[in-house]
């Protein structure tokens, strides 16, 4: 408050006491309230917090409070009040001094971390905003934390203000990085019964080394280290040392300030075993089942993790009976003298609950029914914990969503519950136009329009075109997994293909028509079918005309290069337990099929005499398993056998097995692995003999790979693989030319889930390179690069 106003107030009090002035009616009245000195802040914003109004008697307490209110706005560094005009009707002038505006935020001394990144990620100060020193200090702390995360434990961060014209300022953070400090050694003392190697894998704070610059190992983070202390406590508790204590850590810095040495002292205490395991509460005659699901058994080492698992298992028993709010409380009785803990699980199931509503949220594109038909919980039914878990797995397996969560909340009554299925949709459509290069195919041109959730109906529609020097493809596919909202599957496929093999060219134009049925639909007639929800039986009819053109005329094999119509029926049984049908990371897929192309399906009156007759049997198995740190292990086994329908109709060479390439045995030339025979290249008796690939009637392929996350944010993953495979001719079950009768290869590659679809770039190295038996030249290159679009597993 200004001195003139204080003087006026003192004079009024001395000359005329308040009671007397009130009686005389000459108390000063505020004529007006003004604000001066503001340039950026609106006057109305200041007046909004001033309680002293024009026309009201002057109240010095209000004025004092108004000064505080204006300061609290945070826009001003100083506020004073002056009186202008006559003493009886003074004008109050709130004179403010604005804080400077921030023109720019800078970082000096940042070498190891980008200054721009620090400003973007750590600074909470925005350009052109009013300077807030609290935000400056907060940003200083966050920049410090960024350096600690990177291992610069001794980094110092200060700040200064550089005044600029027009009442602006630059905020400058000054960094002294010092040397990067890494954890060199973690010593654990007092651990007589639990080895260090059993503890450190569960700690986030790891010992660094000379290769630590490649990862975050060796970085010291205070928050992570505090969690490590809790982790050590849990490890001991899980090994029966219930009263183990971890002392205050001792941290030492090496003289050159490059290394941290951490020492932890553990007081292990005594180890306890489990004694009697019992149950109490409202068990509802479930004791035999409860005894089966518990993991803690008398005599075993008492483990807290197993107790936690038991609680979950016991709750699941009652949740599947409809008791959504069951509570299981472990009650322990510790016998310190015998080092035994008796455990009683007290069960309070509460009341049965029913699903009142099932709500679906987050599906902007996918229709509700596409999700609901995968659910195994239903409105009006008893609550089921297993039903919720299975429903989540089935919805996630569609491959349409990045995330699927099912939560519950209380309904309109205590026995009602509302389940909410929340999904986050992923892009299921792709438009692909691209070009690639392969060691053997040279340039590859591709184009594809695909939608795996067509218009949100859960259908698949795709159009694909591929062109290279040795293969061409045009194809349109459609799949409806729930035809007319039944358990039936309907699909069709139209295609035209051309492939150049080593001894012939195969062209085919045709299509397929498929009907399938989910075997769980047989449950009304066959109770066991309830367990077959992930198993489907398919019947596929194929009709195609195949044109085969030999590369050179060979009289001995002329009857093998036959063109004709294939009219076949394939029956297949598929069992799909993958967690995601588009990009699986766990689960398995099994398929067993038998395909028949008999004379009955190819009557001469319709197709003429040029028909392909055969029977073919195929088994395929895929297995997916998450390993560690996002790494996924995958195995794929494929076995096939094809045989003549009769002696008059040998299997055409175009239907036999040829391996090699990015979709079979990587590292080997496309379709080059095949049994060979020596034959003349021309009809002349003295023609030079040459090796001719004739295809095998049996094949075996084993693919194994590890997929490793590299740049998850942009969908880039690495892969290393090991493949084995071979084809065998009629009467042949082994190959003496190669170890284990299988050609082997190793390699690596990149997978990119690009905006236009999954791209594969892979380099294969054949381990069993072949030579031409006549010329001695290498058939296989030492390495093979191949590119394609689409998933392999």
Give Cβ neighbours of residue 167 (< 8 Å, ≥ 6 apart): 39, 98, 100, 101
pLDDT band at 93 (very low <50, low <70, confident <90, very high): very high
Percent of the chain surpassing pLDDT 90: 42
Q: Which of 636, 637, 640 is nearest to 594 (CA)?
A: 640
- Is the pLDDT at 84 greater than 50, yes or no? yes
pLDDT at 331: 94
Q: What band does 101 get if pLDDT is binned at 50, 70 and 90?
A: confident
Rounded distance between C-alpha atoms, residue 231 and residue 326, angstroms: 29
**Residue 555, pLDDT above cutoff 80:** no
Tell me what pLDDT residue 150 has.
74
Average pLDDT over residues 521-527: 88
CB-count exposure of residue 666 (10 Å: 0-12, 13-18, 19+): buried
pLDDT at 315: 94
pLDDT (0 to 100) of residue 664: 92
Task: Determine whether 94 is exposed, middle or buried from the number of CB atoms within 10 Å of its CB (0-12, 13-18, 19+).
Answer: buried
pLDDT of 556 over the 60 cut: no
Q: In whole angstroms, what is the distance from residue 106 CA to residue 92 CA? A: 41
637: its two tokens: 């086994």
The whole-angstrom separation of Cα 596 and Cα 567 is: 9
pLDDT, position 642: 96
| pLDDT class of 4 with cuts at 50, 70, 90 | very low
CA 546, chain centre distance (Å): 43
Give the residue, 787 or 673, on which the prediction is more confident. 673
Q: How far apart are CA 662 and CA 672, in angstroms?
A: 12
**pLDDT one-digit tens code per residue, 392-429:** 989 988 888 888 999 999 999 999 999 999 999 887 66
* pLDDT tens digits, one per residue of 344-396: 999 999 999 999 999 999 988 889 999 999 999 999 999 999 999 999 989 98
Cα 155 to Cα 114, 261, 433, distances in angstroms: 15, 18, 49
| Predicted confidence (pLDDT) at residue 57 exceeds the cutoff of 70 | yes
Q: Which helix (H) or strand (E) holds 58?
A: none
Dihedral of alpha carbons 745, 750, 751, 757, sign: negative
How do strand 416-425 and strand 401-410 relate by DSSP bridges? Answer: antiparallel
Contacts of 25 (CB under 8 A, 6+ apart): none
Asked if residue 249 lies in contact with residue 203, where contact means CB atoms within 8 angstroms, the answer is no
Whether 589 and 578 have beta carbons less than 8 Å apart is answered as: yes
- In DSSP terms, 170 is beta-bridged to 104, 162
- pLDDT tens, 718-727? 999 999 999 9
What does the alpha-carbon distance between residue 740 and residue 731 come to, in Å, rounded to a whole number?
Answer: 18
Of 82-96, 456-470, 747-761, give the range with the top mean pLDDT. Answer: 82-96
In this prediction, residue 278 carries a pLDDT of 94
CA distance 777 to 691: 13
Q: Look at residue 745 in the predicted model and tell me its pLDDT.
A: 96
Mean of all residue pLDDT scores within the chain? 85
Nearest to 581 by CA among 430, 791, 278: 791
Q: For the chain, count helices (H), then strands (E).
A: 12, 35
Give the separation between CA 710 and CA 630, rounded to whole angstroms: 10
Nearest-angstrom CA–CA distance, 673 and 658: 6
State the average pLDDT over residues 88-116.
Answer: 88
Q: What is the DSSP letter of 193?
A: S
Find the angle CA(453)-CA(454)-CA(455) to the nearest 5 degrees.
110
Give 216 or 334, the one with higher predicted confidence. 334
Chain position carrying tokens 């006026």: 8
Identify the DSSP state of 652.
P
Confidence grade of residue 124 (pLDDT, cut at 50, 70, 90): confident
Query: Mean of the pLDDT values across residues 42-67?
Result: 89
Give the distance from CA 521 to its chain's centroid. Answer: 32
CA distance 475 to 455: 20
Q: Name the one residue in this structure whose structure tokens are 């990149």.
A: 750
What does the pLDDT average to over 532-556?
84
**Band of pLDDT at residue 772, cut at 50, 70 and 90:** confident
Q: Which domains does the chain have, with CATH numbers?
A: 3-98 (3.10.20.310), 101-176 (3.10.20.310), 182-267 (3.10.20.310), 273-348 (3.10.20.310), 354-425 (3.10.20.310), 429-789 (2.40.160.50)
Q: What is the mean pLDDT of residues 538-557?
A: 80
Judged on CB neighbours under 10 Å (0-12, 13-18, 19+), 515 is middle
Give the SS3 label for residue 762: strand
Tell me which DSSP letter residue 755 carries: T
Contact by Cβ (8 Å): 409, 761: no
Question: In this structure, how many other beta carbons lie within 10 angstroms of the beta carbon of residue 72?
Answer: 10
Q: What is the pLDDT of residue 553?
A: 55
What are the residues whose beta carbons fall under 8 Å from the beta carbon of 373, sequence distance 6 or more? 482, 485
Is residue 496 very low, low, confident or very high in pLDDT (cuts 50, 70, 90)? very high
Quick one: pLDDT at residue 700? 97
What tens digit of pLDDT does each residue of 498-517 get? 988 878 889 999 999 999 99
Is the pLDDT assigned to residue 6 strictly greater than 50? no
Q: What single DSSP character describes residue 213?
A: G
Model pLDDT for residues 202-220, shown as the tens digit of each residue: 887 777 765 555 455 666 6
Contact between residue 196 and residue 188 where contact means Cβ atoms under 8 Å apart? yes
- pLDDT value, residue 211: 53
Per DSSP bridges, beta strands 698-711 and 504-518 are: unpaired
CB-CB contact of 766 with 743 (8 Å): yes
Cα distances (Å, whole numbers) of residue 598 to 378, 516, 731: 46, 22, 23
Neighbours of 213 (CB within 10 A): 13
- DSSP letter for each residue of 69-115: HHHHTSSEEEEEEEEES-SSSPEEEEEEEEPPEEEEEEEES-SSS-H
pLDDT (0 to 100) of residue 2: 42
Pairing of strands 32-36, 91-98: parallel
Query: Does the pLDDT at position 65 exceed 60?
Result: yes
Q: What's the token pair of residue 272?
A: 């306890």
How large a percentage of the chain has pLDDT more than 70?
89
pLDDT of residue 8 exceeding 50 = no
Q: How high is the pLDDT of residue 680?
A: 59
Of residues 437 and 771, more confidence is placed in 771
Question: Binning pLDDT at 50, 70 and 90, where does residue 779 land?
Answer: confident
pLDDT tens digits for range 581-596: 777 889 999 999 999 9
**Residues 732-757 pLDDT 10s:** 999 998 999 999 999 999 988 766 56
pLDDT band at 263 (very low <50, low <70, confident <90, very high): confident
Q: Rounded CA gap, 292 and 277, in Å?
A: 12
Judged against a pLDDT cut of 50, whether residue 18 lies above it is answered with no
The residue among 27 and 685 whose pLDDT is bigger is 27
Q: What pLDDT shows up at residue 1?
A: 41
Bridge partners, residue 510, by sequence: 495, 544
Is residue 613 within 8 Å of 602, Cβ to Cβ?
Answer: yes
């Amino acid at each position: 408050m200004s001195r003139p106003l204080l003087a006026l107030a003192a004079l009024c009090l001395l000359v005329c006491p308040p009671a007397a002035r009130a009686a005389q009616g000459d108390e000063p009245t505020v004529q007006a309230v003004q604000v001066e000195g503001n340039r950026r802040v609106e006057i109305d914003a200041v007046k909004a917090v001033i309680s002293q109004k024009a026309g009201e008697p002057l109240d010095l307490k209000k004025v004092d409070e108004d000064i505080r209110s204006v300061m609290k706005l945070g826009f001003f560094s100083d506020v004073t009040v002056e009186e202008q005009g006559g003493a009886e009707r003074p004008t109050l002038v709130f004179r403010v001094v604005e804080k400077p505006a921030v023109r720019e935020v800078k970082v000096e001394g940042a070498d190891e971390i980008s200054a721009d990144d620090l400003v973007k990620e750590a600074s909470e100060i925005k350009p052109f905003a009013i300077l807030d020193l609290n935000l400056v200090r907060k940003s200083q702390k966050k920049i410090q934390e960024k350096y600690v995360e990177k291992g610069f434990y001794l980094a110092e961060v200060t700040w200064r203000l550089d005044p600029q014209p027009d009442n602006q300022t630059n905020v400058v953070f000054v960094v002294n990085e010092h040397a990067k400090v890494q954890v060199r050694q973690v010593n654990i003392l007092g651990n007589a019964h639990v080895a260090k190697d059993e503890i450190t894998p569960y700690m986030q704070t790891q010992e660094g080394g000379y290769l630590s610059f490649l990862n975050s190992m060796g970085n010291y983070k205070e928050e992570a280290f505090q969690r490590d202390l809790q982790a050590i406590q849990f490890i001991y508790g899980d090994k029966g040392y219930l009263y183990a204590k971890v002392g205050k850590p001792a941290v030492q810095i090496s003289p050159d300030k490059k290394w941290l040495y951490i020492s932890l002292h553990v007081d292990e205490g005594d180890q306890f075993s489990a004694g009697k395991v019992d149950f109490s509460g409202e068990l509802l005659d479930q004791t035999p089942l409860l005894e089966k699901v518990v993991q803690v058994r008398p005599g075993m080492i008492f483990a807290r993790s197993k107790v936690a698992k038991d609680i979950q298992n016991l709750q699941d028993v009652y949740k599947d009976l409809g008791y959504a709010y069951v509570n299981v409380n472990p009650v322990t009785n510790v016998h310190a003298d015998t080092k035994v803990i008796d455990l009683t699980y007290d069960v309070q199931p509460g009341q049965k609950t029913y699903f009142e509503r099932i709500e679906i949220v987050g599906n902007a594109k996918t229709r509700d029914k596409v999700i609901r038909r995968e659910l195994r919980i239903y409105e009006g039914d008893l609550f089921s914990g297993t039903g919720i878990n299975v429903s989540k797995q089935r919805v996630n397996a569609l491959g349409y969503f990045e995330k699927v969560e099912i939560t519950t909340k209380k309904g309109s009554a205590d026995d009602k519950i509302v389940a909410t299925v929340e999904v986050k949709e992923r892009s299921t459509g792709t438009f692909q136009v691209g070009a690639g290069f392969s060691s053997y195919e040279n340039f590859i041109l591709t184009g594809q329009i695909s939608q795996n959730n067509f218009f949100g109906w859960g259908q698949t529609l795709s159009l694909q075109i591929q062109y290279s020097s040795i293969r061409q493809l045009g194809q349109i596919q459609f799949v409806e997994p729930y035809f007319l909202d039944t358990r039936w599957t309907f699909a069709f496929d139209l295609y035209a293909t051309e492939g150049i093999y080593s001894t012939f060219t195969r062209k085919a134009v045709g299509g397929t028509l498929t009907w399938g049925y989910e075997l769980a639909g047989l449950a009304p007639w066959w109770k066991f079918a309830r367990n077959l929800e992930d198993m489907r039986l398919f019947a596929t009819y194929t009709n195609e005309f195949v044109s085969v053109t030999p590369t050179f005329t060979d009289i001995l094999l002329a009857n093998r290069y036959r063109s004709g119509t294939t009219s076949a029926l394939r029956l297949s049984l598929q069992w799909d337990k993958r967690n995601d049908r588009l990009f699986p990371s766990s689960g398995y897929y099994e398929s067993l099929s038998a395909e028949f192309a008999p004379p009955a399906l190819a009557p001469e009156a319709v197709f003429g005499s040029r028909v392909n007759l055969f029977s073919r049997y195929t088994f395929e198995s895929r297995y997916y398993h998450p390993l560690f740190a996002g790494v996924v292990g995958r195995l794929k086994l494929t076995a096939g056998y094809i045989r003549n329908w009769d002696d008059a109709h040998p299997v055409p060479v175009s239907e036999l097995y040829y391996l090699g390439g990015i979709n079979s045995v990587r590292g080997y030339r496309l379709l080059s692995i095949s049994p060979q025979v020596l034959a003349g290249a021309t009809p002349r008796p003295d023609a030079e003999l040459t090796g001719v690939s004739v295809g095998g009637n049996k094949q075996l392929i084993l693919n194994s790979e590890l997929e490793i996350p590299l740049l998850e944010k942009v969908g880039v993953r690495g892969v290393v693989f090991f493949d084995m495979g071979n084809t065998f001719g009629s009467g042949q079950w082994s190959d003496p030319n190669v170890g284990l009768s299988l050609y082997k290869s190793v390699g690596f590659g990149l997978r990119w889930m690009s905006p236009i679809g999954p791209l594969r770039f892979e380099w294969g190295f054949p381990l069993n390179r072949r030579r031409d038996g006549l010329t001695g030249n290498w058939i296989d290159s030492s390495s093979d690069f191949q590119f394609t679009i689409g998933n392999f597993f």
